[in-house]
Amino acid sequence: MAVKRGGLGKGLDSLISLSDDLDLTPKKEEKSSAAEKPKEVIKEVVKEVVKEVKVHEPLMVKLREIEPNRDQPRKEFDKESLEELKDSIVQYGVLQPLVVVKKGKYYEIVAGERRWRAAKLAGLKEVPVIIKELSEREISEVSLIENIQRENLNPIDEAMAFRQLLDTYSLKQDEVATKVGKSRVYITNSTRLLRLPEKVREYVANGELSTGHAKVLLGVEDPAILENLAKDIVEHKLSVRDTEKLVKAALNPKKPKPEVKLDYVEHFALLQDKLTNRMGTKVEIKRKNNKAGKIEIAYFSNEELERILDIIGLTE
């Protein structure tokens, strides 16, 4: 009697749930033969089926016999969140079993490392687990998908998880999207974050930069400029809108106005105009040659002469 199995990528519930679709009712054409069987034989059949199903029921396993999956995408666990889960476990116990596979003398976690860590903090000696028989690919896929679906990975760890699914198993973006319940555009935008320089990825992973900031910064190709912009954004706590303006200015710097070189005549004409404005009366520069000449300042009254002398600084 076959037990229906859920496929990967359909959520963790499909991984650990048991099928109750065991049909023990004889088909119409088989009723006559089944009715002739002793009830004890039917009971034995049911017993064997139940025995097969119970292989997937939770077992209590010592914490010291369980180890985390070294390839799982989440590298950091929020301490405050772990403490909250620990308090819940102290009060109610581990309500959802860990999913593990047997690896020689120990069990490797496929899903539930956060519960395992919190259980250790709570001082538990053993936890409930469901032991599965999975290939290395299935272990990796389930571990990645379980973490992604819980939606508590930081954007960079999530992007690395998507990249691992894409590269390790040569999946297409739409296939990854189907497995994790996201859109293809979401997968594309997420994996683009890995193009950022390491320091900028740290800002995003730590929450100092949002994915909105990161998407804007991706428009900058020069890594050095990009890192400097990211540093300014973090230090000044700029909004995404302000970041857009900053990046636009960096990509399209204002070009300095070219210096206008005047010819010789224009140069003296400009000087003459400046002197006229400064003195408040007519001023003429009369050149004898390129090196010599004279300046004539006109005045039309003694008062105006005094004013001009005062400007020049010759009055007592």
Catalytic option among 76, 83, 84, 113: 113
The whole-angstrom distance between residue 62's C-alpha and the CA centroid of its chain comes to 36
Tell whether the torsion through CA atoms of 161, 166, 172 and 173 is positive or negative: positive
What residues pair up with 128 in beta bridges, in sequence order? 60
Under a CB-based contact definition with an 8 Å cutoff, are residues 86 and 118 in contact? yes
Q: How far apart are the first and last CA of the chain?
A: 121
Nearest to 120 by CA among 90, 152, 78: 90
| Catalytic site includes residue 44 | no
Pairing of the two strands 126-131 and 98-103:
parallel
| 178-184: Cβ within 8 A, 24+ apart | 178/9, 179/8, 179/9, 179/141, 179/145, 180/9, 180/145, 180/148, 180/149, 181/11, 181/149
> Alpha helices, DSSP H only, in 102-239?
113-121, 136-149, 155-168, 173-180, 184-192, 198-205, 211-217, 223-236
Under a CB-based contact definition with an 8 Å cutoff, are residues 64 and 143 in contact? no
Give the burial class of 85: count Cβ atoms within 10 A of its Cβ; 0-12 exposed, 13-18 middle, 19 or more buried.
buried
**Residue carrying structure tokens 């990825």:** 201
The catalytic residues are 113
